[in-house]
Amino acid sequence: MMNYLNTYRRYACDIGRINEEAKTNAEALVNLTEELYTHDLRWIVEQVLKSEGHHHVILLSGPSSSGKTTTSKKLCDEFMKHGIDVQLISMDNFYLGEDYVKRLPNGKPDFESVEALDIPLIKESIDKLSTTGECVIPVYDFSRSCRSDKTRTVKLGKDSVIVMEGIHALNPIFSAGQSKAKVMKIYTAVKQGIKNNEDYVLTNREIRFIRRLVRDYHFRKVDPEYMISMWDTVVEGEKKYIRPFRYTSDFTINSIHIYEPCVLKSLAIPILESISASNMNYDFACRISEALDRFETIDSSLVPENSLLREFIGGGCYSY
């Protein structure tokens, strides 16, 4: 059933206002944005703890580069402030591996499909955690695109909370058979783009693209031309496997940080400018670069260590 009361914080995402604040009071702009985001997470935790039956499983989903990982970690921080034992589980550890994933028509592995995950093992893990409070989960090796030999044992106390995050976490295949009194769903995404009057400077999807470009280049050693070539596949996967379930969430979080283009520009523009003029995505790269160049620059040193943006620019207090 759709949750018609589900809403999220909306910002005044106008480039003129953002640039004015970036020029005159950048630190205040950053701090206010961070405070509002943390406030939204704190409010959700309070609602979970007040809910009848006390939800033990939190399923958190969102499209690529929406900040799921940091959001889940910050949610865990808020639960712990209430004295609640919380365990974080990433669904990424349940990937089957490149050799077991179906191929797209172009021959590339379809990692966006829910079938790229070990569905039976995820359901079994949720069941065991709900009944016995203990399970063993795999550890995925992204450097080799396969499951590693390592495992992790998760043990819960009586009033523990599990936060399970992943792009497919809201798919009903994982919550089927689970008591609604025990499961709560959260959807996080960049819900707004940034405009100049009525025209978009950057769409919400393009903001996520910039985040992913910077992160994958600097921390995953992904060739930028390859990353750009895969972006349409990622987006198509989101349309098929993620967006259809976003309205089933109990809460929606708008993960845009309105100052972020001011920080990301200095990292993203050099990457975009490295795209060869002969590349089929050259015009797209130029357009994004030109859009970023319209923003005032904010030094990354102003970004707090626990900010969601640190997931993409590095230097944060969380491990990824």
pLDDT (tens digit per residue) in 266-291? 999 999 999 999 999 999 999 999 99
Q: Estimate to the nearest angstrom the gap between the alpha carbon of 48 and the chain centroid.
A: 20
With a cut of 90, say whether residue 126 has pLDDT above it.
no
3-state SS, one letter per residue, for 230-299: HHHHHHHHHHHHCHHHHHHCCEEEECCCCCHHHHHHHHHHHHHHCCCCCCCCHHHHHHHHHHHCCCCCCC
Predicted TM-score of the model (pTM): 0.92
User: At residue 3, does pLDDT exceed 70?
Assistant: no
Contact 193, 206 (CB under 8 A): yes
pLDDT interval class at 2 (50, 70, 90): low
Give me the pLDDT at residue 50, please.
85
Query: In the predicted model, is pLDDT for residue 55 greater than 70?
Result: no
- Residue 111's pLDDT band (cuts 50, 70, 90): confident
pLDDT over 70 for what percent of the chain?
Answer: 96
Could you count the other beta carbons within 10 Å of the beta carbon of residue 231?
18
